[in-house]
Amino acid sequence: MDSDENNIITHNPYEEGYDFFINDKWKNQFQFRISTFEVPSGLLSKAIEVTEKFPDREPQIFEVLSDFEADIEEAELTLKAKIKKNINRRHLIEENGKLSIDKEETLRGRIEEADYQSNSHFKEYFVIDGKHITIEQFVELLEPYPSFSFKFKIYDPSEEVD
Angle at Cα 130 formed by Cα 54 and Cα 16, nearest 5°?
70
Q: How confident is the model at residue 3 (pLDDT cuts 50, 70, 90)?
A: very low
Domain encompassing residue 82:
2-87
Domain match, 37 and 61 both: yes
The answer for residues whose C-beta is within 8 angstroms of residue 156's C-beta and 6 or more apart is 65
In a domain, 133, yes or no: yes
In a domain, 158, yes or no: no
Q: What share of the chain in percent tops pLDDT 70?
A: 94
Domain match, 75 and 97 both: no
Domain count, the chain: 2
Domain match, 83 and 101 both: no
Q: What is the pLDDT of residues 11-53, one digit of tens each?
A: 777 788 999 999 999 999 999 999 999 999 999 999 999 999 9
Domain match, 29 and 64 both: yes
- Would the pTM count as exceeding 0.85? yes
Sign of CA dihedral 55, 56, 60, 61: positive
